Amino acid sequence: MSNSESVSMYEERIKALENEVLHLKLRESVLKESGVRLQHLFNGAGDAIFILDKDANFVDVNDGAMHLTGYSKQELIGRSIHFIHDEKGVNDFQIFFDRIMNGEAVTFETRIDRKDKSNVDIECSSRRIVVQEIPYSHMVARDITERKQAQALLLESEERYRTLFEQNPIETIIVDREGRVSRYNLAKKRSGNRLPGIGDIMYKEYARKHEIDMYGAMMGCIRTGKSKDFPVLKYEDRFLRINISPFPGGAIITSIDITDHKRVEEALRLSEERFRTAFETSPDAIQIIRSGDGVYIDVNEGFTELTGFSRDEVINRSSFRLSIWDDASELENFTRLLQEQRYVRNMQVRFRLKNGKVRIGLISARMMVWNNEPHILSVTRDIDDLKKAEADVRKMEEDRKQKERLQIILETAGAVCHELNQPLMAISGYSELILMGLEKSDPLYAKNLKILEQVTRMGEITGKLMGITKYKTKRFGKGGKIIDIDEASQ
- The predicted pLDDT at position 483 comes to 67
Q: What is the pLDDT of residues 391-409, one digit of tens each?
A: 777 888 887 777 777 677 6
* Amino acid code (one letter) for 376: I
64-73, 153-162, 304-313, range with the lowest pLDDT: 153-162
Q: Indicate the pLDDT class of residue 158, thresholds 50, 70 and 90.
A: confident
Q: What is the distance between the alpha carbons of residues 170 and 253, in angstroms, rounded to a whole number? A: 10
| Cα 118–chain centre separation | 48
Burial class (CB in 10 A: 0-12, 13-18, 19+), 65: buried
Q: Give the residue among 271, 323, 259 at the shortest CA–CA distance from 294.
A: 323
Range(s) of the chain covered by CATH 3.30.450.20: 45-149, 168-262, 284-382
Q: How confident is the model at residue 488, as a pLDDT? A: 63
Which of the residue ranges 126-135, 236-245, 447-456 would you say has the lowest mean pLDDT? 447-456
- How far CA 420 is from CA of 154, 417, 461, 482, in Å, comes to 126, 5, 11, 20
CA pair distance 269, 245, nearest whole angstrom: 32
pLDDT band, very low/low/confident/very high, at 203 (cuts 50, 70, 90): very high
Q: Which of 50-59, 65-74, 147-156, 473-482 has the lowest mean pLDDT?
A: 473-482
Specify the DSSP class assigned to residue 103.
T
CATH superfamily, with its number, for domain 284-382: PAS domain (3.30.450.20)
User: Number of C-alpha atoms within 13 angstroms, CB side, residue 242?
Assistant: 21
User: Looking at the domain that runs over 168-262, which CATH code has it been given?
Assistant: 3.30.450.20
Q: What percent of the chain has pLDDT above 70? A: 85
Which of 295, 267, 302, 260 minimizes the C-alpha distance to 281? Answer: 302
Enumerate the CATH 1.10.287 domain ranges in the chain, comma separated.
Answer: 394-488
Instruction: Answer whether 270's CB lies under 8 Å from 189's CB.
Output: no
CATH of domain 394-488: 1.10.287
Query: CA geometry: angle at 92 spanning 88 and 97, to 5°?
Result: 140
Average pLDDT for the chain: 83
Give Cα 343 to chain centroid, integer Å.
26
DSSP string of 365-428, one letter each residue: EEEEEETTEEEEEEEEEE-HHHHHHHHHHHHHHHHHHHHHHHHHHHHHHHHHHHHHHHHHHHHH
Chain segment 271-304, per-residue pLDDT in tens = 888 888 888 888 888 899 998 888 998 998 989 9
Name the amino acid, one letter, at 37: R
| Closest of 107, 98, 103 to residue 126, by C-alpha | 107
- Tell me the CA distances in angstroms from 469 to 218, 412, 465, 472, 476, one per residue in order: 102, 13, 9, 9, 21
Burial of residue 326 (number of CB atoms within 10 Å: 0-12, 13-18, 19+): middle
In which band, very low, low, confident or very high, does the pLDDT at 366 lie, cut at 50, 70 and 90? very high
Residue 383 has a pLDDT of 85
Quick one: fold of 45-149?
A: Beta-Lactamase (3.30.450)
- C-beta pairs of 86-91 under 8 Å, 24+ apart in sequence: 86/111, 86/113
Q: 0.85 exceeded by the pTM?
A: no
Rounded alpha-carbon distances, angstroms, from residue 337 to 12, 326, 343: 136, 18, 7
The CA distance from 179 to 204, in Å, is: 9
Distances (CA, A) of 395 to 24, 55, 387, 469: 150, 129, 12, 19
419-446 exposure pattern, b = at least 16 Cβ within 10 A, e = fewer? eebeebeeebeebeebbeeeeeeeeeee
